[in-house]
Amino acid sequence: MNRVLIIKLGALGDFIQALGPMAAVRRHHPGAHLALLTTAPFRDFAAASPWFDEVLVDGRPGLADLGGLLRLRGLLRGFGRIYDLQTSDRSSWYFQLAGRLPEWSGIARGASHPHREPERDRMHTMDRQRDQLAECGIVEVRPPDLSWATADVSMFGLAERYALLVPGAAPHRPAKRWPIENFAAIARRLAAETIRPVIVGGPGDRAHGARITAELPAALDLTGRTSLLQLASLGRSAVAAIGNDTGPMHLLAGIGTPLTVLYSRESDPDLTAPRGPSVNILKADSLADLPVRAVAEALRLR
């Protein structure tokens, strides 16, 4: 067990929910060389954490990429144990690619440490991973300490009170999005309480930021302008965050930002909701039917 690998590829919410299990693996193998195999968007964030000696980026070689497959097989065979926290068809196939040589925690057929729970797909992501690690003798999985997740945000000039708005969600699942005009209405209510609305998200959310700032120029649009580490720093000082079921909300929950998370019938909070001491879930079959008033009351705004 001198060399241990964790596989966690994404997406953002799933990656954040695996931070506690990652820290638990580090504690379980205190003297090992611990590496993470992930995707490029999470490389810098993972490298800043105190858990990994090495962060590797999965090039996702296809079947026609013989050289890439051979390199990946050689990489996988260089570890004594692999914790597959992705547990997807692809990551389970990596076990077969490695020739079943490393000890393996996951759901791949033939794994040395399989997760045997027949109801695993009905468990919350964090409970499922905790149960998986218990099969390997890792019985204590704590919420991760994210004090290391910090970066300079002084360039944004946020001296006043502010709240974060997270209006994005998976582009292929529009039903997970509260109408943007409702986010604009909440932004106006925040401003009336002398709380500056700050819109955050990825580059694909810039149209939402532009829509809100067009109606309320005092709002600050940071969509596509922050790293994950900067988002964590912004979350520490925010008075609140309001957003859809999307990855940044999971990071903010881990930081401890007071959250109001909006769920439609498109996803089940019992399986995926952010967890934390200050997380409030609002649910409606259709988010179009969730009134601004209900969200404002959850934020204790008049």
- Asked whether the predicted pLDDT for residue 19 surpasses 80, the reply is yes
Q: Mean of the pLDDT values across residues 267-272?
A: 94
Q: Worst-scoring range by mean pLDDT, 56-60, 133-137, 171-175?
A: 171-175
Say yes or no to pLDDT of 251 above 80. Answer: yes
Mean pLDDT across 116-139: 96
On the CB side of 120, CA atoms within 13 Å amount to 16
**pTM of the entire structure?**
0.95
- What does the pLDDT read at residue 154? 97
> pLDDT tens digits for 211-229?
999 999 999 999 999 999 9
CATH 3.40.50.2000 fits 157-298, yes or no: yes
| Confidence class for position 267, pLDDT limits 50, 70, 90 | very high
Q: Kindly indicate the confidence band of residue 100, based on its pLDDT and cuts at 50, 70 and 90.
A: confident
Can you say whether residue 236 is alpha, beta or left, with left for phi > 0 and alpha for psi between -120 and 50 degrees? alpha
Q: Is the pLDDT of residue 1 over 80?
A: no
Query: What is the average per-residue pLDDT within 84-110?
Result: 95
Residue 302: pLDDT over 70: no
The whole-number average pLDDT for the span 11-34 is 97
| pLDDT on residue 156 | 97
Which residue from 197, 211, 210, 195 is spatially nearest to 243, judged by alpha carbons?
A: 197
Check: CB of residue 99 under 8 Å from CB of residue 77: yes
Residue-wise pLDDT for 160-207, tens only, equals 899 999 999 988 889 999 999 999 999 999 999 999 999 999 999 999
Residues β-bridged to residue 106: 114
Residues of the chain with CATH 3.40.50.2000: 3-134, 157-298
Q: Which residues contact 188 (CB under 8 A, 6 or more apart)?
A: 215, 216
Q: What average pLDDT does the segment 267-277 reach? A: 92
Q: Tell me, what's the pLDDT at 7? A: 98
The stretch 264-293 carries a mean pLDDT of 94
Fold of 3-134: Rossmann fold (3.40.50)
pLDDT tens digits along 112-124 = 999 999 999 999 9
pLDDT, average across residues 1-8: 95
Res. 78: pLDDT tops 70: yes
In the predicted model, is pLDDT for residue 33 greater than 80? yes
Residue 110 dihedral angles phi and psi, to the nearest 5°: 90, 0
Write down the pLDDT at residue 4.
98
- Three-state SS at 167: coil
Average pLDDT of the residues of the chain:
95
Token pair recorded at residue 48: 């800043």
Confidence at residue 271, expressed as pLDDT on a 0 to 100 scale: 95
How sure is the predictor about 300, in pLDDT bands with cuts at 50, 70 and 90?
Answer: confident
Mean pLDDT across 35-48: 97
Question: Other CB atoms closer than 10 Å to residue 209's CB: what's the count?
Answer: 25
